[in-house]
Structure 1
Amino acid sequence: MKVLAGNSHFAPWRTMFSSMLGNFWRKHLKKPFFDARYGEYAERMSAEELEVGKQWLSDTFYLIRCEDDALPNIKWVLDLARAAVLRHGVRGLVIDPYNELDHQRLANMTETEYVSQMLTLVKRFAQHHACHVWLVAHPRQLQNWSGQPPNLYDISGSAHFVNKCDNGIVIHRNRNPKAGPIDQVQVLVRKVRNKVVGTIGDAFLSYNRVTGEFMNVDNSAGSDNQGFKPPHGS
């Protein structure tokens, strides 16, 4: 979500979030929201700039929230997203995280069958309404994990997440100071169905705490100036 907010001026889509938005206008204005230590010596955004940012947020993003005690399921999210596509011209839907949705299934249905059916509904929605869907799912609890990035098959639930997605991307944050900068995020593109839209490889981003942006970094020999490194043998 932070990447979408920080780059919405490059691709001015209207995007719908089944998630919490946070203070996205900080990423748009590139100024700290609070007069806090993370802002260092940067000028805090003014009240006028805050109003401009709030208007930009209102024009760019739409939020799905379930206000009652019932847990939302995927059908509830897609029904609201369908209405937003028709009424507001929404072109992107972020479901974050998948794990927070209600996943009750029939007694005779396995989890693998449920995930396959659910992903079919999501893909059908995306195709019928020309709407890009980002489905954010967390990995299962890994045993003997030593800090390395997870892979797509580590997603809790089913291998259908890998089989049915058009693009599979792993976001990994380093938490070990001995392994490298802890403000660095690794983006691992592990599946690309349509080669026209991209290729498999890694990119490294550095998080700017002042502006809330992710910046490209040149992390290793052989990578280009955009922080992208093709995998060995590609």
Structure 2
Amino acid sequence: TVDCILEKARQLVRRRGVRILVVDPLNRIDQQLEPGQTELQYITSLLNKLSRFALQHKCLVILVAHPRKVNRNTTNSELRRVEMNDINGSANFGNMADFCFTVDRNDAKEIVTIYIDKVRFKHLGSANTCAKFVYNRINGRYWPCEEDIVHRADGDKPGPVNTVFDNENWLKNITEESCIFD
């Protein structure tokens, strides 16, 4: 339950100095609605508990919530971009959150796009922006990229058309760099 998670997190804050709590995913938490309580009321209560915990313990609380089934565009039958109001259960996720990010994975292009949908405090960032990344299967990291360009420390390279090719270059570059430092 949420109360059990928050109690364990309180202990970790006191004993270990933990400052970030990630609840992932929300749908795996045992949701115990009280008699007569609606799902909207439950989610509002849950978000209030998480907010109070964050303020009282000076922690960053990240809640991972999955969207409902996404509708396809009627014109070209592609999936539309997920938005914060698509989160399964309630629009209060977007309304009550200080920040709201959505992650969209395009398997065909092997690109992950992170959209910033909401920023409550404007001095901490701006909404309606996005960042694109490509996943490197060999080292398990995400690299910043655009549709056709991958930005790296040694310069821009052609984008993630074929990640196997990119991985081979990555391995070749690492071995060349290790030879330089030996």
TM-score (norm 1): 0.59
**TM-aligned CA deviation for residue 220 of structure 1:** 7.4
Give the Cα–Cα distance (whole angstroms) in 2 for the partners of residues 144 and 172 of structure 1: 14
1:186 corresponding residue in structure 2: 113
Correspondence list, 1:37-186, <5 A? 73-144=1-72, 146-175=78-107, 177=108, 181-182=109-110, 184-186=111-113
**TM-aligned CA deviation for residue 174 of structure 1:** 0.4
Q: Which amino acid aligns with 1:81?
A: A
Secondary structure, in 3 states, of the residue corresponding to 1:214?
A: strand
Q: Which amino acid aligns with 2:43?
A: V
Richer in helix (by share): 2
Secondary structure, in 3 states, of the residue corresponding to 1:196?
A: helix
* 1:197 correspondence with 2:124: yes
Q: Residues 71-90 of structure 1, C-alpha deviation per residue, up to 9 Å, x if partnerless?
A: xx111111100110010000
Richer in strand (by share): 2
**TM-aligned CA deviation for residue 141 of structure 1:** 1.8
**TM-aligned CA deviation for residue 219 of structure 1:** 3.5
1:206 corresponding residue in structure 2: 134
Q: Residues 68-123 of structure 1, C-alpha deviation per residue, up to 9 Å, x if partnerless?
A: xxxxx111111100110010000101100001001120121111011001100000
Higher relative contact order, chain-length normalized (CA < 8 Å, sep 6+): 1
Give the Cα–Cα distance (whole angstroms) in 1 for the partners of residues 95 and 6 of structure 2: 21
Structure 1 stretches of at least 4 aligned residues deviating more than 4 Å after TM superposition: none
The size of the alignment, in residue pairs, is 147
Q: Residues 17-74 of structure 1, C-alpha deviation per residue, up to 9 Å, x if partnerless?
A: xxxxxxxxxxxxxxxxxxxxxxxxxxxxxxxxxxxxxxxxxxxxxxxxxxxxxxxx11
For structure 2, list consecutive stretches of 5 or more residues without a partner in the other structure. Answer: 153-182
For structure 1, list consecutive stretches of 5 or more residues without a partner in the other structure. Answer: 1-72, 226-234
Q: Which amino acid aligns with 1:147?
A: L
Give the Cα–Cα distance (whole angstroms) in 1 for the partners of residues 26 and 40 of structure 2: 15
Please tell me whether the aligned partners of residues 21 and 62 of structure 2 are also in contact (alpha carbons under 8 angstroms).
yes
Secondary structure, in 3 states, of the residue corresponding to 2:123?
A: coil
Give the Cα–Cα distance (whole angstroms) in 1 for the partners of residues 81 and 2 of structure 2: 28
Question: Judging changes above 3 Å, is the alpha-carbon distance between structure 1 residues 220 and 192 closer, same or farther for their aligned structure 2 residues?
Answer: farther
Larger Rg: 2
Among all aligned residue pairs of Structure 1 and Structure 2, give the percentage whose two residues are the same amino acid.
36
Please tell me whether the aligned partners of residues 83 and 102 of structure 2 are also in contact (alpha carbons under 8 angstroms).
yes
Secondary structure, in 3 states, of the residue corresponding to 2:9?
A: helix
